[in-house]
Amino acid sequence: MLARHADPIVAIATAPGRGAVGIVRVSGKGIAPLVQALCGRDLRPREAHYLPFRDADGQAIDQGLALYFPAPHSYTGEDVLELQAHGGPVVLQLLLARCLEAAAAARADGGGAVLTGLRVAEPGEFTERAFLNDKIDLAQAEAIADLIDASTAAAARSASRSLTGAFSHEIHALRDALIHLRMLVEATLDFPEEDIDFLQQADAQGQLDRLQQTLARVRQRAQQGALLREGIKVVIAGQPNAGKSSLLNALAGAELAIVTPIAGTTRDKVQQTIQIEGVPLHVIDTAGLRESEDEVERIGIARAWDEIAGADAVLFLHDLSRADTADYAASDAAIAADMAGRLPAAVPVIDVWNKIDCVDEATAARLQGVGRAVRLSARTGAGLEDLRRMLLEVAGWQAAPEGVYIARARHVQALQAVAAHLDEAHMQLQARAPALDILAEELRLAQNALGAITGEFTSDDLLGVIFSSFCIGK
């Protein structure tokens, strides 16, 4: 634990701006002098007290609720004082300043040595202390931030499940099974005369198989949870006037992008996050792709290609009303060839054939190409549901059971590492003459990868990255 973790900390714990209620939170060891200075009395633990919060001259800064949570029964595991006042920014700043002033006065009087170093908290420091004091594990700490940042109802419910420990429970169950298997292998190493017969009698292979099967289920749910948290980046691309802006507006259900019959109306990207079955999709409308002498339009087209290169999926929009003209078809073919050269093979491209309301069914069927494709009308909305289903399909989303928990990319990567180490362990057990020391090492590395998820094996650098993304006061 770093030296700064011993300092008492204080912060405004509510979002900036005006509101009915605002909260100032203090956490640290021995904050009783601060309670007396601000509230003028001792507070019964875990009971709300309505009273004035006083300045150094005894004048009331505000009237509100004060709650005191003695360690270890608090959010951080330390003594915590929470002041709930009116939510004006000036009032809250006055209370924050008063906390720092009272701590300094207590030190000057010689009775507040325990308050030495009271300072404003860094982002995420309250939750970091909860983690360091074993109130929550790292996966639960991340779930707090994910719950706050959730962009869909499904993501919020999944984050709540992770916060209550659903994801951590699965990881701990995997760890316990892995430890038991490691124990068998280590015992065989300690008593080599038993050799492989001991592992066979203990059904080490069966234990490893069951462990891999359980891991596969956890990985599948974690991937779904990561998709709920992160969503995917979808870029709409195509020639000018193919209906890209109309498609963005139709998907979003709002007039976000300007739509005109003039080619080149969209000069820069327009972005909107939508949700389909709770999965966030970050949809980006880009400038029409063509040769242009207009400098502003050329910049927009260059940015469009940048967005396409970084997409998780691309909607390549085609105008059915012009698709049978030679020039238009040639330009579409050139764009398709350029996309193939710029995009990784794993990035799906959906051919969206727009304006089915402008051609007959036979013409639309004749012009539509092969591969992953959908026909629709951005103007009437026909075919939009087919596109939404296809977007979920390319994202890898499956019908979300209630058991899905929120997860992050680092969790998915850690579980991939566990799977790789268990695969190596499986190969060793299947070998005619297993190298038991290598088997033991692979199981140890798998356990370490699991521990990185919950914070049992975590570097200080990673903790800094994780908690710096929190708001101050949480």
pLDDT in tens, 365-402: 776 666 788 998 988 989 899 999 999 888 888 765 55
Considering 69-83, 138-152, 309-323, 402-416, the range whose residues carry the highest mean pLDDT is 69-83
275 has a pLDDT exceeding 80: yes
Q: Helix axis angle, 153-163 relative to 204-230, nearest 10°?
A: 140
Domain 3-137 homologous superfamily, CATH:
Probable tRNA modification gtpase trme; domain 1 (3.30.1360.120)
- pLDDT the model gives residue 292: 74
41 known ligand binder: no
- pLDDT the model gives residue 294: 75
Phi, psi (degrees; rounded to nearest 5) at 314:
-120, 130
Domain 231-395 fold is Rossmann fold (3.40.50)
How many CB atoms sit inside 10 A of residue 169's CB? Answer: 11
Q: pLDDT tens digits for 326-352?
A: 998 899 899 989 888 888 888 899 999
Residue type, 220: Q
377 known ligand binder: yes
- pLDDT the model gives residue 45: 94
85 has a pLDDT exceeding 90: yes
171 has a pLDDT exceeding 90: yes
**pLDDT cut 70: percent of the chain above it:** 88
214 known ligand binder: no
Q: Mean pLDDT lowest for which of 30-34, 87-91, 286-290? A: 286-290
- pLDDT the model gives residue 435: 84
3-state SS of the chain: helix, strand, coil percent to 5? 50, 15, 35
242 known ligand binder: yes
* Six-digit token string for 453: 């998820």
Largest Cα–Cα distance in the chain? 90
152 known ligand binder: no
Q: pLDDT tens digits for 106-135?
A: 766 655 445 667 899 999 999 999 999 999
Range 183-197 average pLDDT: 70
267 has a pLDDT exceeding 50: no
- pLDDT the model gives residue 316: 93
- pLDDT the model gives residue 140: 93
* Six-digit token string for 362: 């036979």
- pLDDT the model gives residue 399: 64
Residue 139's pLDDT band, with cuts at 50, 70 and 90, is very high
438 known ligand binder: no
Residue 26's pLDDT band, with cuts at 50, 70 and 90, is very high
Question: Where are the chain's structural domains?
Answer: 3-137, 164-227+408-454, 231-395
- pLDDT the model gives residue 257: 42
448 known ligand binder: no
With a CB cutoff of 8 Å and minimum separation 6, the contacts of 124 are 145, 466, 467, 468, 469, 470, 471, 474
The Cα 205–Cα 54 span in angstroms is 68
The Cα 345–Cα 342 span in angstroms is 9
276 has a pLDDT exceeding 50: yes
- pLDDT the model gives residue 372: 84
- pLDDT the model gives residue 397: 86
290 known ligand binder: no
The Cα 432–Cα 366 span in angstroms is 59
87 known ligand binder: no
Tell me how far CA of residue 441 lies from CA of 175, 331, 376, 391, 447, in angstroms. Answer: 15, 56, 55, 41, 10
269 known ligand binder: no
The answer to whether the beta carbons of residues 215 and 415 sit under 8 Å apart is yes
238 known ligand binder: no
246 known ligand binder: yes
Q: pLDDT tens digits for 43-57?
A: 999 999 999 999 988
Residue 190's pLDDT band, with cuts at 50, 70 and 90, is low
27 known ligand binder: no
- pLDDT the model gives residue 196: 55
Residue 473's pLDDT band, with cuts at 50, 70 and 90, is confident
264 known ligand binder: yes
Range 215-233 average pLDDT: 90
164 known ligand binder: no
474 known ligand binder: yes
Higher-confidence position of 276 and 296: 276
Kindly report the CATH number that applies to the domain delimited by 164-227+408-454.
Answer: 1.20.120.430
Name the residue among 8, 11, 24, 5 with its Cα closest to residue 104: 8
The answer to whether the beta carbons of residues 198 and 184 sit under 8 Å apart is yes
- pLDDT the model gives residue 280: 87
231 known ligand binder: no
Averaged pLDDT score across all residues of the chain:
85
29 known ligand binder: no
The predicted model scores a pTM of 0.78
Strand partners, 276: 279
178 has a pLDDT exceeding 70: yes
Distance of CA 374 to the CA centre of its chain: 30
